[in-house]
Structure 1
Amino acid sequence: MEKKIALITGATSGIGRATAIKLAQMGFDIIATGRRAERLGLLKEELPENVDFLPLTFDVRDRDKVMEILGSLPKKWSNISVLVNNAGNAHGLDPIQTGSLDDWDAMMDINVKGLLYVSKVIIPGMTERKSGIIINIGSIAGKEVYPNGNVYCGSKHAVDAITDGMRIDLNPFGIKVIGIHPGLVETEFSQVRFKGDEERAEKVYQGFEPLLAEDIAEIIEFVVSRPRHVVLADIVVLPTAQASATLVKKSATS
Structure 2
Amino acid sequence: MQKTVLITGATSGIGEACAIQFAANQYKLILNGRRLDRLEALKEKLVNKYGVTIISLPFDVRNRQHVFDAIESLPEDWKSIDILINNAGLALGRDSFENASLDDWDTMIDTNVKGLLYVSKAVTPLMIKQKSGHIINIGSIAGKEVYEKGNAYCASKHAVDALSKAMRIDLLQHHIKVTAIHPGAVETEFSIVRFKGDEASAKKVYEGYQPLTGEDVASVIYYTATLPPHVCINDLVLTPTRQADSYHFNKS
For residues 77 and 197 of structure 2, what CA distance do their matches in structure 1 show? 39
For this pair of structures, how many residues does the alignment match?
250
Q: CA deviation at 1:111?
A: 0.1
Question: After the TM superposition, which segments of 4 or more aligned residues of structure 1 sit over 4 Å from their partners?
Answer: none
Q: CA deviation at 1:50?
A: 2.5
For residues 194 and 38 of structure 2, what CA distance do their matches in structure 1 show? 20
Q: Quote the residue 2:42 is aligned against.
A: 43
Q: Quote the residue 2:200 is aligned against.
A: 199
For residue 133 of structure 1, give the secondary structure of its aligned residue in structure 2.
Answer: strand
For residue 233 of structure 2, give the secondary structure of its aligned residue in structure 1.
Answer: coil
Q: Quote the residue 2:58 is aligned against.
A: 57
Q: Quote the residue 2:209 is aligned against.
A: 208
The range that moved more, 46-55 or 16-25, is 46-55
TM-score w.r.t. length of structure 1: 0.96
Aligned residues: CA RMSD = 0.9
For residues 233 and 10 of structure 1, what CA distance do their matches in structure 2 show? 22
Q: Quote the residue 2:138 is aligned against.
A: 137
Q: Which runs of 5+ in 1 are unaligned?
A: none
Q: Which runs of 5+ in 2 are unaligned?
A: none
For residues 163 and 91 of structure 1, what CA distance do their matches in structure 2 show? 23
Q: Quote the residue 1:94 is aligned against.
A: 95
Q: Quote the residue 1:243 is aligned against.
A: 244
Q: CA deviation at 1:45?
A: 3.2
Q: Quote the residue 1:154 is aligned against.
A: 155
8 Å CA contact 1:21–1:46 kept in 2: the answer is: no
TM-score w.r.t. length of structure 2: 0.97
- Structure 1 residues 70-149: aligned runs within 5 Å: 70-149=71-150
For residue 102 of structure 1, give the secondary structure of its aligned residue in structure 2.
Answer: helix
Q: CA deviation at 1:211?
A: 0.2
For residues 76 and 191 of structure 1, what CA distance do their matches in structure 2 show? 38
Q: Quote the residue 2:4 is aligned against.
A: 5
